[in-house]
Structure formats: C-alpha cells, structure tokens
Chains A and B, each alone.
Chain A
Amino acid sequence: MSTIHRRQLLQALGIGAGAFLLPSVLSPRKAFAAAPSRSYVFCYFRGAWDILLSLDPRDPSVFTEARKAETKIELAWDQIPNAYPRTIIQPGGSNIPLGPVMGGIAPHYEKMCVVNGISMDTVAHEVGRRYFITGLPPRGTAAAGSAVPSRIAAQQGDLLPFPNLVMGAETYNDTGSAFASGLTVNSVTDLITALTDGPEAPSGNVRARLDEHRAAHPLCDPSRNDRRGLLSLFQGSQQKARQLVSSGLSSKFQFLSNTDSEMMGLASRYGINNQGGGLASIQAQAAMAFQALKYELAQCVTVELARDLDTHDATWADEHPAQLSAAFDALGQLVTDLESTPDPSRGGTLLDHTTIVCYSEFSRTGLLNSRGGRDHSLTGSALLLGAGVPGNKVVGRSSDVGLGPQPINPNTGEVQDGGTFITPTLVIASLMEQAGYDTTKLRAQGLPCLMV
C-alpha cells in the first residue's frame, strides 16, 4: 500500500489552491463589479461638537443654572435661538435622549446607536480627528495607520469606480492596496469635473484613436520598470477613467440643474441652492453620498457635515446650534433617502446595507467659559446608524459631574465601575468586527454591546 507523506499532501493542497485562485489572478478586474456587502458613510463634524446640545444632553430641570457649581454642567439652552426646543428630544418609543438641535435625525431612532462617554485622551483637534479617522491613537500628531475607509475598502476589494470617496476629511492608506486610497474631492463640482471630460480633453476621432493606441501600447521594459505594477496600474486607471466619463454619472450630481427632475427633487429635499453654498455645501455633500451609493459609484464615502464647530466664544450660542442642526437635518434626509430606496443588487433598501458613522474630534466643556463659549473636553461621542448597528440604544454615558468619560460593562454598555473605557479604537473595532472585517491592525476586539 502506498503511503502519502505529509509533504506530498501539502504539496497537492498547494497546487489545488493555486489552481483555484489562478483564474481570479489572471483575469482582468472589472471596473464596475458587484457592490460590496456593506457600504459606509463617514460623517465628520469638524471642530468638536457640543454633546450637551446633541448626543449626550441632560434634563434641564435637573441640571439647572443654580446647580452648575456642583455639576460642572451648564446647559445654557436659554442662550440658543428660540427656534430650538429647550427640552430633550425623545420621540415615543425611543430610548435615546437627544439634544435640542437633533430634531432632524430623531425620527430615525430605531436605526440609531449613540455612543457616549468616549475617552478621547486628547484636546488637540488634529489628534482627536486622526484618532477617529484611523481608529488608532496618533503618534504625536501623526496618523498611526490607514484611515478606516481605506482599511475597509482594501478588504472589500476594488469593486466600484471609487472604492473610497472622500470630501472634506483627511485620508491615509498604508494597506498596500493602492485602489483603497481616498479619492479626495473638494466639492461636488470637483466630482462632476472628475466624471466629465474637460473642454480641451481629446474627443471624437482623437479620443477613439487614443483609446486604441493605449489598449495596444506595450509598456517600456516592463520587467524592470513595472516590477511593482505601477505602470500597469496607471494604464488600468486610464481605462477606468474612460469608463467613468462615458458612464454619464456626472449628470447624477448636477444638483443645481433646473431641467432634471431627479436633481430638482434632491435640491428640494436637501435644501441645496446657490445662496447656501451650492455644490460645496454640506447639504450637497449629503446628497452626493446618497447618489454615490444609489448609483454604485462608491464603496465608502466620507463627507464633512459640519465645518465651524470650534466655538470658544459667544458665537457658540448662535453658530454652533445652527451648524449642528443643519448637519443633522442633512443626515436625517440622507437616512430617509437610503431607507426608502430599494437596493437592486443586494435586496432590501440601501440603508439595510449601509453603515453611517458620525464623529468629531472630541466634545466641548460642560461649563461656558468667560467669553460665553465652550472649550475642549476630553470626552467624545459618536453616532452610528444603519446596517450592523444596534438600534434604539445608548452605549456609555458621560459623568453627571463635569461630563467625564466613564467605564462601561462591555456586554451591556451600561456604566460600571472597573469596567472598560470606550475609545475610538473600540468603536471602530466593533463596527469592523461586526461586519466581518479583519481588525488585527487595530489590536482590539469589538465591544459586544455595539455588535448585533
């Protein structure tokens, strides 16, 4: 009887695995492949948000002006414009108390999870920002790894034209997958420009002959110059760029069009107009995120939903609520649109396959400073929505004295002495682990209370 040795068995298995993988290695990548199993929208609130106005409010009848010396918490809701309620917003059935500026997103409580009492360990904007963008504590002020969207796109693969579309936020990529780098655009106008040929770009006969030439053009000494595949990648990008332009997708982002009924509908729903910043506005960014997911243009989209939240002076009373309110209104519309749009590729609605992550650098102090504004606080909050998010839930809580971070029970999310302090790393690890992505680089396991 012949004996199979361990070495022979491994050899056979290796050849088998190679044969199995070979077609995927040799066949060219499709430019418009299937949508990923999970899409992501990352919403950055620049400047550090006021969580008392938004995600971590307090009952104004308990946290009164008279007790502020004791609680170190001063709501000061009497100073914000009358347009906002002076009470906590909490629709019937909701377990999530929300501040007065969150009326636009409150109806979606069943799809929301608020994470409070996050320990940010910094009051420096760039550090807090990069902590949440990468899920890793920065080294000094430098980002310590890839941005989370790059990390996710790299694991999903190069599936859609823009694996990682970024507007208004930093992006980093050390995954080794070039396609996962953030494609940064400054405004929706830039995105339209990217999807449209410039006025002097080759056209007609020149374009046709040029495309033929490129398809047949051999690389110069590929064994030496293309060892790492950069030249081939560049040629692939040229082909992909042509597919993007010829796809006609630019028409899906012309939100100021007066003739296209879809665009007029979007402009009306999101409130996009020339007076409010037009295609550079936060409303246009929210609409862009929706269209990019609807038309399967992007796997991960990052937008900047608020820009000037760093209100250390009296502008806090007017500008901060206005910025936050506009951002949550736009976010609410985005959720409504995603929830009501069928997903032809994956079934259900777009929101069933989309996770939304809202974050800021940290938050603002519980007490007003001498200039009538709020300074930087070490405590942070995050808002999670959509697929893979435990709905109608609050995890963690800042302390009732001074809004400090508090440890939680990782299983329940309730505050518990001697428990675990929530960090951006744990929030990101929970989201990625729940969706089945590798979190080795984060060196952390997700919190069970954040994973459904």
Chain B
Amino acid sequence: MNRLAFVAPLAALTLWGCDVQAPNTTPDPVIVPYVDPTVPDHWTPTTPTDQGPVDLDPPQAPLEGKVARRITIDQLRQSIPALFDGITWTIGTGRNAREGFDQLSGSLGEADYIQATNENLEPTPLFAKFMDDMAGDVCAKAVARDATKPEGDRVVVASDSDVAASLRFLRLKLHGIYVPAGNTEGLEPYLELHQRLFESDGANTAWIGVCVAMLTAPEMMTY
C-alpha cells in the first residue's frame, strides 16, 4: 500500500510532464546552397539564349601598332660604320684614339652586366649631347672623305650638282624614308639648312650641318 501510494503520484507526474512540453519556437534552418561568386556556374544546364544575345564580332579598338623606341648604343656602334663606309665616332687622336661608343659606354647608359644589367634607353639630355658630339665627328670625317671620292662611292654628298638628290639619298639612308625623284616632301627644312650654311660657309660646312641634322633627328634615333 505504501509503495503504491508513492509510485502512483510519481507516474502521474511523469505523464503530465510529457504532455506539457514547451512549444519549439526556433524554425528549422533553411539550407541555402553556397554559391562561390568567383567560380562561374558550369554545372547548371542552360540554353545559349539564357544570357541574352551575344555579339560575335564586337567593335575593336584600333590597333596601336609598334611603339617607337630609342636606338641602342650597340645598334649605333654597328650602324654608324656601316652607314659611313667604316667611319665611326672616335675620341682622342693618334694612338690615344678610342671609339666613342666604347669609351663612354657607361655614361651612354649601356649595361655592363656588372653594375648595370639593363640598358637605359631614355632619350636623355646626356644622350642627346653625346649624339651631337658623335654626329659632328662622323659627319666632318665623312664629308672630308667624300671630297676625295667619285660620286658613286660617297656616303654623304651623293651629288655635287643636285642638292635635292643628295638629300633624298640621305633621307632614305638615315631615316628610311623614300622620297621619289622630283619630289621634295619632308626635305624642305634640310634644303633650307643647306642653303643658309652654303651661303655663309660654303659647300663642305653646309653638308656637315645637314649630315649632323639628319643623323641626330628623331627619325634616325628612334625606330
């Protein structure tokens, strides 16, 4: 009797407790599939029209083409003797004469692969100044030698009688610009320079001046 009196209320309490559970207010979590924004969705089937019309031949920006670059010292070292029949830039005289491109290699920005591993190809004032020195030296020697050679073997003054023909010759040789016979397009500034120097200093000086102007022109120093 005593045991029943103890167990019955306990059983009733247990049943009551099971019935009166607190309501669950937390909603079930909604699982959203993760979409990595950096990875395109390659696996969901689509049709080609889902993304709208496609322009298969979009308008293109005009091609820039090659950008001008400054000529390197080694290109000059090899080009100048080729253009002037072996004449090159020298510093000093007699036994002390040294090739200018070698003597001033470092100051001209050439890499020595010890201290400098990249060539400085900026058209700096220093480079421009040394190119004036180079052109003055090379042109003076070339014009002096031309005076001793027949017209066909000359490197600057191709024709004594036809200034325009000599300028066409130099324009093609130094700037790579062909000017047809009878045409003076692009030659006018050089004709004027030649004329003014010819009147004041004579033919040789006029040709040295023209040669220096053409050899140091941006058309020669860039490519």
Q: Chain A interface (Cβ within 8 Å of chain B)?
A: 161-162, 168-173, 178-179, 181-186, 190, 193-194, 197-202, 205-206, 209-210, 213-214, 216-220, 224-228, 230-231, 233-235, 237-238, 240-241, 244-245
Say whether A201 contacts B193, CB under 8 Å: no
- Smallest CB-CB A-B distances: 7 pairs: A198-B133, A200-B137, A241-B129, A234-B123, A231-B218, A240-B125, A237-B128
**Contacts between chains A and B (CB distance < 8 A), count:** 146
Task: Given contacts A184-B109, A213-B192, list 11 more A-B pairs with CB under 8 A.
Answer: A161-B125, A178-B124, A185-B106, A186-B106, A194-B130, A200-B140, A202-B209, A209-B193, A230-B68, A237-B127, A241-B132
Q: Known contacts A200-B133, A202-B212: does B120 contact A181 (CB below 8 Å)? A: yes
Q: What is the CB-to-nearest-CB distance from B193 to chain A, in angstroms, rounded to a whole number?
A: 5
B108-142 interface with A by 8 A CB criterion: 109, 115-118, 120, 122-130, 132-133, 135-137, 140
Say whether A197 contacts B70, CB under 8 Å: no
Q: How far is the CA of A201 from the CA of B135 in the complex (A)?
A: 7
Give which listed residue, B91, B116, B128, B189, contacts A216 with CB less than 8 A: B189
B138-177 interface with A by 8 A CB criterion: 140, 175, 177
Q: What is the CB-to-nearest-CB distance from A143 to chain B, in angstroms, rounded to a whole number?
A: 8
Measured as residues with beta carbon below 8 angstroms from the partner, the interface class of chain B is: 35 or more
Say whether A206 contacts B107, CB under 8 Å: no
Say whether B68 contacts A225, CB under 8 Å: yes
* Residues in B neighbouring A231, C-beta threshold 8 A: 68, 218, 222
Q: How far is the CA of A235 from the CA of B205 in the complex (A)?
A: 23
B65 within 8 A of A: yes
Say whether B125 contacts A234, CB under 8 Å: no
* Residues in B neighbouring A219, C-beta threshold 8 A: 218
* Residues in B neighbouring A244, C-beta threshold 8 A: 125, 129
Q: How far is the CA of A171 from the CA of B186 in the complex (A)?
A: 39
Closest to B70 in A: A230
* Residues in B neighbouring A214, C-beta threshold 8 A: 213
Interface centre among A168, A224, A238 (most CB of B within 10 A): A238
* Residues in B neighbouring A171, C-beta threshold 8 A: 116, 120
Contact with A along B201-219 (1 / 0, CB 8 A): 1000100110011001111
* Residues in A neighbouring B127, C-beta threshold 8 A: 237
Q: List 26 A-B contacts (CB under 8 A).
A: A169-B115, A170-B115, A170-B117, A171-B120, A173-B122, A183-B125, A184-B109, A186-B106, A190-B107, A194-B126, A198-B137, A200-B133, A201-B133, A206-B205, A206-B209, A209-B197, A210-B193, A216-B189, A217-B189, A217-B213, A220-B177, A228-B67, A230-B67, A230-B123, A234-B70, A237-B123
B19 within 8 A of A: no
Q: What is the CB-to-nearest-CB distance from B167 to chain A, in angstroms, rounded to a whole number?
A: 13
Q: What is the CB-to-nearest-CB distance from B188 to chain A, in angstroms, rounded to a whole number?
A: 10
B73 within 8 A of A: no
Q: How far is the CA of A193 from the CA of B104 in the complex (A)?
A: 10
